Amino acid sequence: MRIYVTPGRQRNLYMYSSNVKPHRANLLLQIMLQSNVYTSILWTVSYLGYLLLNLHDLWNYEGLATFLAFVLAGCSEAARLYAGYTVNLCDGIASMWLLLTLTPFVLLPSLLYLRLVSRTQTLFLQYMSDVLFVLIGLEALVVLLRYACLRSKKRQESLKNPVFPSTPSPNRVPHRAAHPRPTRPLRTNKSW
């Protein structure tokens, strides 16, 4: 079956997509996010292995808190990486909010708790936690600097091209009082 598309009726493939305004991505942030993806996967698999090896210690409140902190850290790290990619590749204020609230209030406390719980057990998990802390700190610094630079660029552009409300712009719709609506004659009751 062949589908013929006439030149006048071409389909817009992006007609039903969301309104995403692409902008220039930061290469340094993209490299750090990519390395953080692999580091997070390695940390998650190794910590899950650590929890499975010490399964007999998880049957108390401390073990339950450790497992809950691990689940919170894994889920919030995935959401943080998604928000970081969205902030880097698209102009997303909601993702910036997610990134700046999820990281300090959910991810860092749970990672710190997991780091303190496993401090006496294995050296590899300590190094992986340290690498994650360093990458998260660097990413937060780059995101905040980029946001500040973009904001200052927008402010400079607005100062270069000021818009004064007293000067009419060519795209401005005139006020209704300038062009009154035509009135219709009143109906008469001839038909009744």
CA distance linking residue 154 with residue 117, whole number of Å:
46
Residue 173, pLDDT score: 53
Q: Where are the beta strands (DSSP E) in 41-181?
A: none
CA distance linking residue 73 with residue 68, whole number of Å:
8
Among candidate residues 149, 45, 166, 31, the one with its CA nearest the CA of residue 85:
31
Tokens representing residue 67 in the block: 């497992």
CA distance linking residue 182 with residue 112, whole number of Å:
72
> Taking the chain (192 residues) in consecutive chunks of 10 residues, what is each chunk's mean pLDDT?
51 52 78 94 93 87 92 94 86 76 91 84 86 91 82 77 56 54 61 56
| Partner residues linked to 90 by β-bridges | 22
Tokens representing residue 160 in the block: 């270069």
Residue 182, pLDDT score: 58
Residue 7, pLDDT score: 55
CB-CB neighbours of 175 under 10 Å = 7
Tokens representing residue 15 in the block: 């007609």
Residue 32, pLDDT score: 93
Residue 90, pLDDT score: 79
Residue 187, pLDDT score: 62
SS3 131: helix
Residue 103, pLDDT score: 87
Tokens representing residue 90 in the block: 């698209």
DSSP state of 25: P
Cβ partners under 8 Å of residue 151, min gap 6: none
